[in-house]
A = this chain, B = another copy of it.
Amino acid sequence: MDTYRAIVTKRDTRVYDGRPIPEEVLTRILNAGRMAGSAKAAQPVRLIVVREQARKEALAACGRFTPHVPAAAAVVALVLVPEADQPPGQFAIFRGPFDAGRAAQNIMLAAWEEGITSCPASTHDNDGAAKVLGLPPGHVVANLIALGYPGGADPVTGNRPRMALDGYAHFETWPA
């Protein structure tokens, strides 16, 4: 699928058909995340792939909008490691999550090209999620990505429209 088509057709959807993701496809998807750039090439993002049912459910219990997570074929947790130039457990307020977002989008677009849909989910209970995944101190879950082959219409998002381009993009300065 060409890149632009993957970008504009990708939707965050939450209904999966239960089929597992073949290992070689999963590897390709994880590799897409790995290749995302990062500020100062700090590479602050790591992934943990969760497929065991009990662990998917435990992760889902750490978020408020996660009913789709246990049914995902795989849940990818985006973990931020402490950055060398930040105090322990701290992340540049925009930089780490921004880099996690870059990796997440690579992962979701590579998945979509393989016919796999996805939806991010926040872990509002970050300490709980860290415990489920056995993270060392100072590491934090930036987000989860649920991945799976599409299983039908999404009851939450449908085909959620986006704002028009002329309200989204401006030129030179914020419009008066």
Residue numbers of A with Cβ under 8 A of B are 1-4, 6-8, 10-12, 27-28, 30-37, 39-41, 43, 45-52, 55, 65, 79, 92-106, 109-110, 112-113, 119-120, 122, 133-136, 139, 142-143, 157, 160, 162-163, 165, 168-174, 176
Contact = CB atoms under 8 A, between A and B. Distances in A.
B8 A168 contact: no
B4 A94 contact: no
A132 to B, nearest CB: 8
Contacts of A106: 7, 105, 109
Contacts of A135: 174
Given A49-B171, A52-B172, A135-B174, A97 B105 contact: no
Nearest to A28: B4
Contacts of A168: 30, 33-34, 43, 45-47
A32 B47 contact: no
Given A106-B105, A109-B109, A142-B98, A35 B48 contact: no
A98 B95 contact: no
Nearest to A126: B94
